[in-house]
Amino acid sequence: MARQRLITEAFVGLADTLIDDYDVVDLMLTLGERCVELLEVDAAGTILRDTRDRLVAVRSTSQGAEVSELFAIQNAEGPCQQCVQTGERVVNVVIAESSRRWPNFMAVAAEHGFVATHAFPLRLRSDVVGALNLFCRAPTTLSDEDVGLAQGLADVATIGLLQQRTVIHHEGISGQLQSALNSRIIIEQAKGTIAERAGIQVGAALHLMRTYSRRERRLLRETAGGVMAGELDIGHLRGTNPQPD
């Protein structure tokens, strides 16, 4: 019953993008977190197409997963590449058994301790805008129910991405995704700035920014911009300083 409640909350949280403005980077991180929470996987990450039809890693719950995704992009191989190219999911891939198929990707994935991986397309009908990648550090086989859940979460997140075309029709999906990829840069910069100034881990810094953004009903990229502009500091994020004018 508790898991069913978590599943319902996950879908409701992702569906919020249909009725409000949102950060794509935060949406992709939330998608990954929900998958790690609900499935027997240890890390998750997403890749999206940019305006030049290149694949870019947007957000990952694990540094190891992010490195593996970047390596797959650079070497044009791996389950996520196949997933984006075909629009079909690639699941229950055993690292040790796939070295001939994707030698470079699998070597790096294994180096970071992953033994299994899964890839789900971010798609709506014929539109494939990226892929959700799940990584496991123990031998794991996703059941049909788990596969359906992961694809369902990915589908809801994709609808959130693509529905912006009706709001920003002149910009189109590629422009909106490019804006998201650009916002990722300032979020990464702000995360590093907070971590250095407060003497905390970058993951904790990101958590502070996301918590502050939700508390103050601000977009994550707006909070990051405030940090970089000197308008927000660690006290503001923790709620111990007065709010800026």
Q: Give the integer Cα–Cα distance in Å for 104 and 52.
A: 24
Are the C-beta atoms of residues 3 and 38 closer than 8 Å to each other? yes
Assign a CATH topology to domain 179-237.
Arc Repressor Mutant, subunit A (1.10.10)
pTM beyond cutoff 0.75: no
Which one of 40-49, 166-175, 233-242 scores highest in mean pLDDT? 40-49
Instruction: Name the percent of the chain lying above pLDDT 70.
Output: 82
Any idea what DSSP says for residue 16?
G
- pLDDT tens digit sequence for 126-176: 788 899 999 999 998 999 999 999 999 999 888 877 765 444 444 445 555
pLDDT digits (tens, 9 = 90+) for 179-189: 656 677 788 88
Q: Where along the chain do its domains lie?
A: 2-167, 179-237
Which of 5-14, 93-102, 194-203 is predicted with the least confidence, judged by mean pLDDT?
Answer: 5-14
The dihedral over CA atoms of 11, 180, 117, 203, expressed in degrees to the nearest 10, equals -90
Structure-block tokens of residue 226: 């405030």
Which CATH fold would you assign to the domain 2-167? Answer: Beta-Lactamase (3.30.450)
Beta strands in 69-186 (DSSP E): 90-94, 116-124, 127-136
Is 206 within 8 Å of 221 (Cβ atoms)?
A: no
Q: Does residue 23 contact residue 119 with C-beta atoms inside 8 Å? A: no
90-102: average pLDDT: 91
